[in-house]
Homo-oligomer: A and B are copies of this chain.
Amino acid sequence: MRSFTSVHDVASIGIPTILEQATQFVENPWSFEHLGKRKTLGLLFMNPSLRTRMSTQKAATLLGMDTMVLNAGADSWTLETRDGVVMDGTATEHIKDAAAVMGKYCDVLGIRTFAGLTDYEADYAEVVLQSFIDHSGVPVISLESATRHPLQSLADLITIHQHSFIRRPKVVLTWAPHPRALPQAVANSFAEWMLHADVDLTIVNPEGYDLDPRFTAGAVCTHDQDEALTDADVVYAKNWSATTPYGAILTTDPSWCVTKQKLALTNNARFMHCLPVRRNVIVADEVLDSPQSIVIQQAANRVVSAQVVLYNILRSMQ
């Protein structure tokens, strides 16, 4: 594996192998503590992050890597992404120069960028992430991009794998309300990973919120939450903003909140969310504080997913 931006990057290794590696790192987190010796991981955040930053930094430490964290604030350093522009505006550096320089200081780069949620084509072109891949000269890890959050999705997959289901589990990704317009990255990415895993995926959301079929083709997609939840083994709640019109908030209907009553429709399902979560908006306290919730285990697995990814990248560099 060179760079890691989606489920497609683990295709050559194979998901079963990835899950075996995850199990080994859970059992012995320090088993490869010298693999990353003398290697530097640079983490660049174009948007604030605490969870991704801590878990990735911890994973790097477990593998013996040094980490340098950069927070690119809007006022201190803005990147130009267009080619051929006369840069006499606010952007202080072209992304291709920034990427090339960082690639000289770091052996691996992690990049976090968010969707702007105003221009669908621009967001889905993933210009920032792709520029770093094209110009840095080193492996690049997505720490969440405009349209995907693969480290989260891998952690989600590891978490589901850690639970024994009698049958191939029915996994339901349900939209839930939120007061602010959020990207589709977590939902897109979760769908994409589940469709490569040994589960049956159902996606349910209000009309206008249908995700791009490039990520969801193969899943059962519906607009009826009760029907979707029926007999589910895993309920994954997440808000995302509308796809039509792009980035809009079409509804905050509280009836989509995952309550105990909703979970009663399921096959005693585990409840998942990537956190941070708005309590009693996305999910009721009674669910989140019940034994059915596995969100903390899921968050803990962010370290494991980052460690698996860094491990495979470091192995490729040897």
**Residues on A facing B (Cβ under 8 Å):** 30, 33, 38, 40, 42, 48, 50-51, 53-55, 57-58, 61, 66, 68, 70, 72-73, 76-77, 80, 83-89, 92-94, 97-98, 100-102, 104-106, 179, 252, 275-281, 285, 288, 295-296, 299-300, 303
Instruction: Name the B residues within 8 Å of A277 (CB-CB).
Output: 93-94, 97
Report the Cα distance A93→B105, complex, angstroms: 34
Asked if B38 and A58 sit within 8 Å, CB to CB, the answer is: no
Asked if B77 and A275 sit within 8 Å, CB to CB, the answer is: no
Asked if A77 and B89 sit within 8 Å, CB to CB, the answer is: no
Asked if B54 and A279 sit within 8 Å, CB to CB, the answer is: no
Instruction: Name the B residues within 8 Å of A92 (CB-CB).
Output: 276, 278
Report the Cα distance A15→B87, complex, angstroms: 37
Report the Cα distance A77→B49, complex, angstroms: 9
- Closest B residue by C-beta to A90: B179
Number of copies of chain A assembled together: 3
Q: List 9 A-B contacts (CB under 8 A).
A: A40-B61, A48-B73, A50-B77, A85-B279, A97-B275, A97-B277, A97-B295, A101-B300, A105-B300
- Closest B residue by C-beta to A29: B38
Report the Cα distance A66→B53, complex, angstroms: 14
Instruction: Name the B residues within 8 Å of A86 (CB-CB).
Output: 279-281
Asked if B179 and A88 sit within 8 Å, CB to CB, the answer is: yes
Q: Assuming the A-B contacts A38-B30, A40-B61, A66-B61, are A278 and B88 also in contact, with contact meaning beta carbons closer than 8 angstroms in the complex?
A: yes
- Closest B residue by C-beta to A105: B54
Instruction: Pick from B87, B102, B275: contact of A278, CB below 8 A.
Output: B87
Q: Assuming the A-B contacts A101-B51, A275-B97, A277-B93, are A68 and B57 also in contact, with contact meaning beta carbons closer than 8 angstroms in the complex?
A: yes
Asked if B54 and A68 sit within 8 Å, CB to CB, the answer is: yes
Asked if A279 and B94 sit within 8 Å, CB to CB, the answer is: yes
Report the Cα distance A299→B98, complex, angstroms: 10
Instruction: Name the B residues within 8 Å of A70 (CB-CB).
Output: 50, 53-54
Asked if A87 and B279 sit within 8 Å, CB to CB, the answer is: yes
Asked if A296 and B104 sit within 8 Å, CB to CB, the answer is: yes
Instruction: Name the B residues within 8 Å of A68 (CB-CB).
Output: 53-54, 57-58
Report the Cα distance A300→B138, complex, angstroms: 14
Instruction: Pick from B53, B88, B276, B303: contact of A104, CB below 8 A.
Output: B303
Asked if A102 and B54 sit within 8 Å, CB to CB, the answer is: yes
- Closest B residue by C-beta to A67: B68
Report the Cα distance A51→B33, complex, angstroms: 28
Asked if B97 and A276 sit within 8 Å, CB to CB, the answer is: yes
Q: How far is the CB of A26 from chain B (nearest CB, A)?
A: 12
Asked if B84 and A285 sit within 8 Å, CB to CB, the answer is: yes
- Closest B residue by C-beta to A297: B104
Q: How far is the CB of A104 from chain B (nearest CB, A)?
A: 4
Q: Assuming the A-B contacts A40-B61, A58-B40, A70-B50, are A101 and B299 also in contact, with contact meaning beta carbons closer than 8 angstroms in the complex?
A: yes
Asked if A87 and B57 sit within 8 Å, CB to CB, the answer is: no
